[in-house]
Structure 1
Amino acid sequence: MSAFPNREAGAPRVSIVIVCYNQLEFFDEAIQGCLAQAETFSDLEIVIADDGSTDGTTDAARQWAERHPDIIRLALSDTNGGIAANMTAGLKAARGEFVAWLGGDDVMLPGKIVRQVEMLDRQPEVSGCYHDAEVFEWPSGEVLGLFSRLYGGRAFKIDRVDARRMLDPRVQMLPSTLLVRRDRMPAGFDPRFRFHNDYLFDFETIAFGGPYVRLDGCFVRYRKHQRSIGKDKQVVSTLIEENLMVLGAITARYPRYASAIRRREVYYLLLEALKAHRRGDHARGAELTRAVWAKGAWGKAIALKLLRRPLSYLADPRYRRLALELRSRFG
């Protein structure tokens, strides 16, 4: 399945791919965190994949490459092609045995690469490794908590994530925490999906190459700000459609996981129904509840219909931790 060799001749063991677009104010910190990895693991390169930035990020990337030509390589686009195209460009430019992703607004912490390489060297049967991250708000700098507590759920209560567990909606991993074997990866990211293409990519990597294993510790700072893609109104408005489309693609390619896929579909429909009821769109909520019923999740559909008012509070960001705990316990 993979289009990539284990390692190109003369290439470094690790390629850190920084994926960025109009992130100039965060860019230096991202680069510095990556360069610091070489203090404990020197056999690496940094690939900067810029998606046609217009704020000076591209010029900054060139300046960093001129200062560190031995370690920094560029994969720059003249136009904005979208996240999937940019990540694919970065992947194709990478030469290492392992690939680490980093959002241009995130920060690597000391020891990340060396610890992950050591773990993957000990476990050749797995395709990748993930860890926890510190979530913070910008520009205030306020630390919101660990990703495992805010979003991650069961991914941080188990040792490894295989394809079936990847379909569990309680399992969440952050792309900037991953280190993955390049020869287990698909050839690229599906350009049909704007936001959820990394999920499909990781699922296929795991299905083909083996599970992702958890490394204890926190080795990335994950920045939340108003220009984060999760704040994009267009992304938010089409999120349910894209999530279900991605699951449709997985169903077509991996029908053996149909029952687990259906449970994840039910989760997305339930969550969207709760959001609809929370904003007072009860007709939309009822319609989505009928879709849950049609998927065969009759008990959950009945519970949602009877308890829609108190349950709708779980869609409020203020109760995220409670919602995550309930999701982790009951699915």
Structure 2
Amino acid sequence: MADMPRKNHEPDVSVIIGAYDAMPYLVRCLESVEAQTIGAGRLEIVAVDDGSTDGTGEYLEEFAARTPVPMRVVRQANSGGPSGPRNVGLGLARGRYVFFLDADDYFGDEALERMVAMGDRAGTDVVLGKIVGVNRGAAKSMWKETVERADLYSSNIKFTLSAQKLFRRDLLVRLGMSFDETLKTGEDALFTMEAYLRGNGVSVVADYTCYYLVGREDRNQMTKKGNYRRRFDSARALMGLIADQVPPGPRRDALMVRPFVITLLPQFGPGLLKQSDAVREKKMALAAPLMAAYWTPEMGRRLKVHERLRLTCVAEGRLDLLLDIVRFLRDKEEPATVRRGDRLHLAYPHFGEGSSVLPERAYEVTVTEWIGGRRIEAPAAGTRASFPRRVIRKARRTLLSALRAPRAHRV
């Protein structure tokens, strides 16, 4: 698709910045917008100070007074989360696209020029630009190649659901999309997944670092705050959205991996061992309806063995078995590999006990695993891993010799 003309002097991109006590990170954040090679005339900044007390609001107003980029500043009482400021900014945006830039982070100089060009060329409604972490980790698996149209179900874009993406504003307006202000974590995942599912495609710009995700030294980041109940709220909302938009089957299972593994499963990791019996029981109770509604054995085969085993224990309400597996993981023990015919298993706790909750098939390797630095691949369908080739060749030679022998000498 060719570059789309702007109407009524609308900017190409509205950069929406929700800021709360963001100094001194805000300085570099704003400078990175001003430095965009797309040019100040094709941008606007909509900044919302969410009740800051460290001079963030004053700095936003000072910057707005001197930057060549058209900029509007809104100052409001603290809303308690990132959704409110983003929604306010979205309501004021005029651009063909919007980008939600966190006040702690910053752009690569060519980020918006490259992403807008990609969105216009491909006609897609969401554009992902490569993200790298600064003093923190960042997901990497989705940045292997630049693609005009990524497949949501087979690619790893479903594992990057943060709001730091380029969204076509027409899509958001047409669908009446906004961030769910009742969620205190995972609101960006819900928003982004809806845009993925209901929009006209997703592009990936992987050959240039578009976004720098900054780890604050004071660790004062909303994504790191909140108790376990908020995580279950987030998982419930995302699973519900996926179920509403995608009928049961392999495509739904492919998407459900994300909330199960990224949002729900960490609640049943080694940290569970430090928690009280009451908290453990409450977590199991919160997970039970989600497992009953959305967990399927077919989805379990898309997971690593220890992930599948833990979620199976949760689905069956077996906290006792779950704790045994979690202790094994906490102690960094390595499961033995066991072959049964053409199947390969990892012998985590309770393997081979004939359990109806954790049968041998629950221990089967179905995706690539890393154990003790060793890469373990799932055997290809139909292979007979328990019979070395030399044994098969010897058996074949013996059989052929017997067939060629005179009938009287055959046994």
Q: Give the TM-score category using the shorter length.
A: 0.7 to 0.9
Which among 180, 192, 195 is matched to residue 202 of structure 1?
192
In the other structure, the counterpart of 1:15 is 14
Matched residue of 2:87: which SS? helix
Cα 1:293/1:227, change in 2 over 3 Å: closer
Matched residue of 1:37: which SS? coil
Q: What fraction of aligned residue pairs are identical, expressed as a percent? A: 22
Matched residue of 1:307: which SS? helix
Matched residue of 1:24: which SS? coil
Q: TM-score, normalised by structure 2?
A: 0.62
Q: Which moved more, 1:270-279 or 1:215-224?
A: 270-279
Cα 1:79/1:249, change in 2 over 3 Å: farther
Q: Which moved more, 1:70-79 or 1:157-166?
A: 157-166
1:106 partnered with 2:94: no
Give the Cα–Cα distance (whole angstroms) in 2 for the partners of residues 170 and 208 of structure 1.
14
Which among 120, 134, 137 is matched to residue 136 of structure 1?
134
Cα 1:247/1:42, change in 2 over 3 Å: same
| Cα pair 1:52 1:76 within 8 Å, conserved | no
Q: TM-score, normalised by structure 1?
A: 0.76
In the other structure, the counterpart of 2:180 is 190
Give the Cα–Cα distance (whole angstroms) in 2 for the partners of residues 100 and 254 of structure 1.
24
Cα 1:204/1:32, change in 2 over 3 Å: same
Cα 1:173/1:255, change in 2 over 3 Å: closer
| Cα pair 1:230 1:236 within 8 Å, conserved | no
Give the Cα–Cα distance (whole angstroms) in 1 for the partners of residues 258 and 185 of structure 2.
17
Give the Cα–Cα distance (whole angstroms) in 2 for the partners of residues 95 and 206 of structure 1.
22
Matched residue of 2:11: which SS? coil
Matched residue of 1:256: which SS? coil
In the other structure, the counterpart of 2:163 is 175
Matched residue of 1:156: which SS? coil
| Cα pair 2:185 2:231 within 8 Å, conserved | no
1:241 partnered with 2:228: no
Q: Which runs of 5+ in 2 are unaligned?
A: 301-307, 314-320, 333-369, 379-411
Shift of 1:131: 2.2
Residue type at the aligned position of 2:159: V
Give the Cα–Cα distance (whole angstroms) in 1 for the partners of residues 95 and 158 of structure 2.
32
Cα distance per residue 1:120-146 (max 9 Å; x no partner): 11101x211112222122xxxxxx56x
Give the Cα–Cα distance (whole angstroms) in 2 for the partners of residues 156 and 9 of structure 1.
35
| Cα pair 1:48 1:72 within 8 Å, conserved | no
Q: Which runs of 5+ in 1 are unaligned?
A: 1-5, 138-143, 315-321
Q: Report matched runs for 1:74-153 at 5 Å.
A: 74-81=72-79, 82-124=81-123, 126-137=124-135, 144=136, 147=138, 151-153=139-141
In the other structure, the counterpart of 1:25 is 24
Shift of 1:24: 2.2
Cα 1:269/1:115, change in 2 over 3 Å: closer
Give the Cα–Cα distance (whole angstroms) in 1 for the partners of residues 182 and 78 of structure 2.
15
Shift of 1:242: 2.3
Shift of 1:94: 1.0
In the other structure, the counterpart of 2:44 is 45
| Cα pair 1:15 1:46 within 8 Å, conserved | yes
Shift of 1:277: 3.6
Cα 1:313/1:133, change in 2 over 3 Å: farther
Give the Cα–Cα distance (whole angstroms) in 2 for the partners of residues 165 and 188 of structure 1.
27
In the other structure, the counterpart of 1:227 is 220
Residue type at the aligned position of 1:130: L
Matched residue of 1:130: which SS? strand
Which has the higher Rg, Structure 1 or Structure 2? 2
Q: Which moved more, 1:205-214 or 1:297-306?
A: 297-306
Shift of 1:266: 3.7
Give the Cα–Cα distance (whole angstroms) in 2 for the partners of residues 269 and 31 of structure 1.
35
Cα 1:265/1:108, change in 2 over 3 Å: closer
Shift of 1:41: 6.7
Shift of 1:310: 3.3
Give the Cα–Cα distance (whole angstroms) in 2 for the partners of residues 132 and 261 of structure 1.
21
Matched residue of 2:235: which SS? helix
1:311 partnered with 2:329: yes
Cα distance per residue 1:57-111 (max 9 Å; x no partner): 111111111113x523224132112311110111111101011121001011111
In the other structure, the counterpart of 1:317 is none
Alignment size in residue pairs: 298
Give the Cα–Cα distance (whole angstroms) in 2 for the partners of residues 255 and 174 of structure 1.
21
Cα 1:39/1:243, change in 2 over 3 Å: closer
Residue type at the aligned position of 1:231: K
Residue type at the aligned position of 2:76: D
Give the Cα–Cα distance (whole angstroms) in 1 for the partners of residues 70 and 227 of structure 2.
34
Shift of 1:312: 4.2
Matched residue of 1:29: which SS? helix
Cα distance per residue 1:149-198 (max 9 Å; x no partner): xx343x335745555469x797124433x111111124321111122111
Shift of 1:15: 1.1
Shift of 1:52: 2.0
Give the Cα–Cα distance (whole angstroms) in 2 for the partners of residues 135 and 313 of structure 1.
29
In the other structure, the counterpart of 1:218 is 209
Give the Cα–Cα distance (whole angstroms) in 1 for the partners of residues 92 and 196 of structure 2.
22
Cα 1:104/1:296, change in 2 over 3 Å: same
Give the Cα–Cα distance (whole angstroms) in 1 for the partners of residues 108 and 157 of structure 2.
28
